Amino acid sequence: MLSCAAVTTKASIRRSNLPLASVAGYGAGNFAFALLGLVVAVNLQFFYTDYVGLSAGLVSWVLLFARLFDAFADPVMGWISDRTKTGFGRRRPYIVGSAIPLGISFCMLFAPPDLGDAAQHQGELLAYLLLFYTLTYFIWTVGAIPYYSLGAELSDDYNERLKVIAVREAWGLVGLLAATILPAYLIDLYGGRQGYGAMGAILGLGTATFLFFSGVFVRERPEFRGRPALNPYAGIVATLRNPHFRVLLTAFTFSGIAAAVPAVLVIYVSVYIIGTPQWWEQSIPSWMPTWSYYLLLYFLSAVVSLPLWNRLGERFGKRATWGVAILLATVTSAACFWLSPGGIGYFSAILVLGGISFGNYQALPPSMVADLIDHDEVHTGLRREGAYFAVWSFAAKVGNAVTGFAALQVLEHVGYQPGVPQTETVRLWMLWMYSWFPALFYFLAGVALVRFRYSREDLAAAQLKLGRGAAAG
């Protein structure tokens, strides 16, 4: 349990009723992170196995190493951000400063040198991927941890926090929609491997622009600057003393593991399980492959569902509303086991329901973390948004790294060969990993969430103790 000793906090007033322009300006940065994140998560391994010629096993080792390195950098970045003291703020310098380097690194990630016979140059290709994949996610961490931490500081109101996060995640979902259409269009327009390079350059520019704009536009609360912060890994231990956060983090970690494998395998399942029917090739433009359509349908459903989840969260509470989404994700994941060649309609129905569930995941859990930061401040006197969101990001990245590594290792060991029809064994393993594995971990997330006990009333009581209980404009 957190210590209940009296603490001294820096003077602060309650912040609510934020201008819509401020909320929208802050949220725009998430367009950049979502655009880059989805393209890397979905396209990168397929590009390097099926276009560059690097083996799936080697790609999996890069994914594991780079994401683990990135995950362990998160607490350090959270600590640095919490301690930063500048006239520009403690979060904004990193958001603005990471924008252009992130765009350049992203561009280079999809522009490996053409060395001829890839089988003879596996070492060189491996080194190139490792360098730029690690660099991309390191720069991502420099900008993302301060960015997401800032979202917890903008408002103190229970419902307005949900609004801030919902607007931010709506921008993110727009970025995800762009990441489903633009890569496929640019790859088709410029052709194959060159298309991936053009995509990296164009989307890298877009990433840098939106992130830079968001960092310049948003304003920080001056009373939160200059507060003391624990060293990064002591900060992790301190957040885990918060019993409510431990429960929430457990549920989120299980959910992150559940979501990681489908993200890695969606193109493989689209190409090698469902395939492309002849009618699709004859009637659908070539720049819209089936995998791009699936992603578009999924994320469009998420965008449309956001206002609904926002209202349900306000009425029934965040825990209950997230629980409904977890149940929906469990059922839709299990249903994927019955995917079959040509089953575009069946998969489409699953993706609509799964996308609705995903819309909830984008807004509700981060908003719940923001509430718990006030609970922490009551007992410690510290504002540790950076520490909390670093731990949150750490859990997501470790889950993604380990499960993504495992999925590609399984493909390598059961006989996956790029660009050719797969054996029944490979297809069966793809289906198991895409369906029952995530369904199990979504179920475990739901079980963990049952133990979460922090309500709207608890937050109001905490803010009263902090002197932010009276509404202010």
Domain locations along the chain: 20-461
d(CA 228, CA 383): 8
SS3 content of the chain, % helix, strand, coil (to 5): 80, 0, 20
Most confident of 8-17, 217-226, 329-338, 457-466: 329-338
Tell me the CB-side half-sphere exposure of residue 167, using CA atoms within 13 A. 19
pLDDT value at position 86?
78
Instruction: Cite the DSSP H helix spans in 284-384.
Output: 290-316, 318-335, 344-380
d(CA 180, CA 175): 9
Q: What angle do CA 48, 54, 56 make, to 5 degrees?
A: 85
Q: With bands split at pLDDT 50, 70 and 90, how would you rate the model's confidence at 235?
A: low
Average pLDDT, the chain: 83
Tokens at residue 200, please?
Answer: 């990296």
pLDDT value at position 204?
93
Q: Residue 353 corresponds to which amino acid?
A: L
CA 155 centroid distance within chain: 22
pLDDT value at position 430?
94
pLDDT in tens, 347-404: 999 999 999 998 887 778 878 887 888 888 887 777 676 677 777 877 887 887 888 8
The DSSP 8-state label assigned to residue 337 in this structure reads G
The answer to whether 252 and 392 have CB atoms below 8 angstroms apart is yes
d(CA 415, CA 427): 10
Exposed e or buried b for every residue in 220-230, given b needs 16+ CB within 10 A? bbeebbebebb
Superfamily of domain 20-461: MFS general substrate transporter like domains (1.20.1250.20)
pLDDT value at position 68?
83
Q: Residue 186 corresponds to which amino acid?
A: L
Task: Taking residues 258-276, report their average pLDDT.
Answer: 89
DSSP sequence for 363-424: HHHHHHHHHHHHHHHHHHS---HHHHHHHHHHHHHHHHHHHHHHHHHHHHHHT--TTSPPPH
pLDDT in tens, 429-455: 999 999 999 999 999 999 999 999 888
Task: Taking residues 62-88, report their average pLDDT.
Answer: 80
d(CA 427, CA 411): 9
| Of 69, 58, 67, residue with least CA distance to 123 | 58
Exposed e or buried b for every residue in 414-427, given b needs 16+ CB within 10 A? eebebeeebeeebb
Q: Residue 15 pLDDT > 60, yes or no?
A: no
Tokens at residue 235, please?
Answer: 């900060």
End-to-end alpha carbon distance in the chain: 34
pLDDT in tens, 101-132: 999 999 999 999 888 888 888 899 999 999 99
CA 3 → CA 161, 239, 370, 375, 382, distances in Å? 26, 12, 20, 11, 13
Q: Which residue has the higher pLDDT, 364 or 471?
A: 364
Of 113-127, 152-166, 207-221, 450-464, where does mean pLDDT reach its minimum? 152-166
Q: Residue 408 pLDDT > 50, yes or no?
A: yes
The answer to whether 389 and 149 have CB atoms below 8 angstroms apart is yes
| Of 315, 51, 27, 23, residue with least CA distance to 174 | 27
* Phi, psi (rounded to 5 degrees) for 54: -80, 140
The model's pTM is 0.74
d(CA 169, CA 162): 10
Q: Residue 263 corresponds to which amino acid?
A: A
The answer to whether 49 and 411 have CB atoms below 8 angstroms apart is no
Tokens at residue 284, please?
Answer: 């659908």
Task: Taking residues 2-19, report their average pLDDT.
Answer: 46
The answer to whether 285 and 269 have CB atoms below 8 angstroms apart is no
Instruction: Cite the DSSP H helix spans in 191-242.
Output: 192-217, 232-240
pLDDT in tens, 174-187: 888 888 888 888 98
The answer to whether 61 and 99 have CB atoms below 8 angstroms apart is no
Q: With bands split at pLDDT 50, 70 and 90, how would you rate the model's confidence at 238?
A: confident
d(CA 177, CA 170): 10
| Of 289, 57, 306, 275, residue with least CA distance to 174 | 306
Task: Specify the residue for token string 């940065």.
Answer: 29
- State the maximum Cα–Cα separation within the chain, in Å, rounded to a whole number: 71
- To the nearest 10 degrees (0 to 180), the angle between helices 158-190 and 456-465 is 110
Tokens at residue 174, please?
Answer: 């727009």
| Of 391, 389, 400, 383, residue with least CA distance to 72 | 391
pLDDT value at position 203?
92
Q: Residue 10 pLDDT > 70, yes or no?
A: no
Tokens at residue 360, please?
Answer: 């909830």
